[in-house]
Amino acid sequence: TFDAYLYQLVENKQKFIAQIMTSKAPVRVADDVDETALSYSEIKALATGNPLIIEKCNLDMEVARLNMLKASHLNQVYSLEELVHRKYPAEITRLTERIAGYERDVELAKAHPKAQEGFCGMEVDGKHYTEKEDAGKAIIDVCTKMTGSDAVLLGQYRGFSMVLAYDGMSNEYRITLKGTLSHTVTLGADVFGNITRLDNALENLAGNLDAERAKLEEARVQLENARTELATPFAREDELAEKTARLKELNILLNMDEKDKTLIDEAPDEGEEPPMRKVVGLER
């Protein structure tokens, strides 16, 4: 009935509002039913109780919803292509290179172990120190003589070059141990504590290597997962095609592809003369 049709329109309006207000899959476009103009064939269908008109209303909303789901799937495909072809391969390359660097630095640190007793020695500002306290004081002395923020070569320790720099923003002195990779240590005011910090940084290399290997494995797993998702087609493609085809059939059956002219507004009332057409050249 006509009332059923109007209630169907109200329901469709509510579904439209729900599309906009939802927090689920992203909805970029939502089509509203912004007019209720009826063609002659539609009114005939309603007047005769034709169920096709209600079916069409339901299909309009269902096809629109499926198209939005497909658009969301395509957006996900574009994101997955970026991950599969660019982000994850670049991340795997970067991690592979870092792992190789850590492996070499771990071997370098093992070749120059920390002395179990005493001090293994350190070169600071061109001078070799065999006592830990003297080496620590020499580091502090170079720090106090720095006049700018430019990094300077400080010396050598356990096979690694030491580069000293001052960070004016944080008001910190930092030593970077340079092997294949760079490993930075923030200095303090204690002469013994600074050398302990350098030793800790070198002892932590093996743990850092394990962490980078775990990151690499995770990146490879994510790459494979992304490839699997990328190869997965839109799950409801067949349903969308079927309902779209049925909707076209209904449009043909109900003659709704081409709207008839407006019904009552353009038709003259009973007993009313049709409007006279103006004839060019006869007006005065």
Q: What pLDDT sits at residue 147? A: 84
How far, in Å, CA of 136 to CA of 155, rounded?
12
Structure-block tokens of residue 268? 């003259």
Q: What pLDDT sits at residue 264? A: 43
Dump pLDDT digits (tens) for 22-60: 555 444 445 444 444 455 555 555 665 678 877 888 898
Of residues 30 and 161, more confidently modeled: 161
Task: Flag whether pLDDT at 5 surpasses 70.
Answer: no
How far, in Å, CA of 114 to CA of 205, rounded?
14
Q: What pLDDT sits at residue 10? A: 61
Q: What pLDDT sits at residue 58? A: 84
Cβ of 25: how many Cβ atoms within 10 Å? 12
Name the average pLDDT for the chain.
83
Mean pLDDT value of segment 176-184: 98
> At 182, which helix (H) or strand (E)?
strand 182-186
Q: What pLDDT sits at residue 262? A: 42
Q: What pLDDT sits at residue 245? A: 95
Mean pLDDT value of segment 206-225: 98
Distance set, CA 115 to CA 45, 58, 142, 160, 196 (Å):
96, 81, 24, 16, 12
Identify the residue whose tokens are 């309603």.
46
Task: Flag whether pLDDT at 92 surpasses 80.
Answer: yes
- Looking only at Cα atoms, what is the longest distance across the chain? 122
- Give φ, ψ of 256 to 5 degrees: -105, 0
Q: How confident is the model at residue 69 (pLDDT cuts 50, 70, 90)?
A: very high
Q: What pLDDT sits at residue 218? A: 98
Q: What pLDDT sits at residue 133? A: 96
How far, in Å, CA of 159 to CA of 138, rounded?
18
Helix (H, G, I), strand (E, B) or coil at 121: coil
Dump pLDDT digits (tens) for 131-152: 999 999 999 999 999 988 889 9
How far, in Å, CA of 220 to CA of 239, rounded?
34
How far, in Å, CA of 225 to CA of 88, rounded?
11
Q: How confident is the model at residue 276 (pLDDT cuts 50, 70, 90)?
A: low
Q: What pLDDT sits at residue 153? A: 96
How far, in Å, CA of 177 to CA of 160, rounded?
6
Of residues 234 and 37, more confidently modeled: 234
Residue among 11, 36, 24 nearest 263 (CA): 36
> At 165, which helix (H) or strand (E)?
strand 160-167
- Give φ, ψ of 265 to 5 degrees: -60, -40
